[in-house]
Amino acid sequence: MKMHPNELFFYYTPDHSIDKKARAYARSVSRYVNEINIEKEKITTTGWRTILDKLDLRPKDLLNRAHPDYQAHIAGKTWDDESWLQILVKYPHLIKAPIAIKREKAVLCLKPNDILKLN
């Protein structure tokens, strides 16, 4: 698959306010924004592994630990690496912030303007 060199992949949840704001910033970083709604488009464990490698983070680093689903289903248990990836697949709405990837750089956008780090 041929991609434009300036294509930006933006993984987000449309209901979160920070995601909406970061999405607006994404357009200033690249004219070619590939938006991926993580609640509608299922990302495989391999896809999550690739994203995590680019971010240089662990799966649990992406999760909102204050969310009730996290507290009910995940907190207080011991998980191996593969299980954490399965959690990302099963509960993508627990991702605490949108993720932006451009070329080989990636950023977890805890603040909407974090996406500007990709320039």
Q: What are the extents of the domains in the chain?
A: 8-118
Decide if domain 8-118 falls under CATH 3.40.30.10.
Answer: yes
How high is the pLDDT of residue 2?
A: 52
**Is residue 23 a contact partner of residue 98, using CB atoms and an 8 Å limit?**
yes
DSSP letter at 42 equals P
What's the rounded Cα separation, in Å, for the pair 79 and 40? 25
How high is the pLDDT of residue 4?
A: 65
What's the rounded Cα separation, in Å, for the pair 30 and 110? 19
Tell me: the pLDDT tens digits for 80-111?
999 999 999 999 999 999 999 998 899 999 99
Tell me: the pLDDT tens digits for 31-76?
899 999 999 999 999 999 999 999 999 999 999 999 999 999 999 9
pTM (2 d.p.): 0.92
